[in-house]
Amino acid sequence: MTTRQTATATCSAEATFATTFATAARNNARAGYAAAAWRAADAARCAATCALQAHDELWDAARGQLTDAEWEAFEAAELAQTAAAEAERAAAEAVLRAQAACFTQAAR
């Protein structure tokens, strides 16, 4: 495989992982599982970081001249950053809800 092919495949795979873990983080946060939400959010951030590294490698290897398939992978890596950030926000909000519930219960 060439550097472009490897970077394209890595962008796609890591972006998919990031999106999958981000969805899991949001679902866990919604269900009130703050620790599980953070674990998934951390995995989403890790995958999104790897996707962005491959994104940069792809851009350098292609010298800005991306094919349609490369462009889709390139864009997916950028969208993975947003998904990871949303997962982190959801996990943080789950922690706040858990803390508020503990505080409310302790105040009774």
Question: What pLDDT is attached to residue 102?
Answer: 76
Q: What total number of domains does the chain contain?
A: 1
Contact 54, 11 (CB under 8 A): yes
Q: Any alpha helices (H) in the chain, and if so which ranges?
A: 3-31, 34-62, 68-107
pLDDT number for residue 106: 60
Position 87, amino acid: A
**Whole-Å CA distances, 15 to 2, 89, 100:** 20, 18, 34
* Residue 89 domain boundaries: 3-107
In this prediction, the residues of the chain whose per-residue pLDDT falls under 70 are 103-108
Phi-psi category of residue 19: left, alpha or beta, with phi > 0 → left and psi -120 to 50 → alpha: alpha
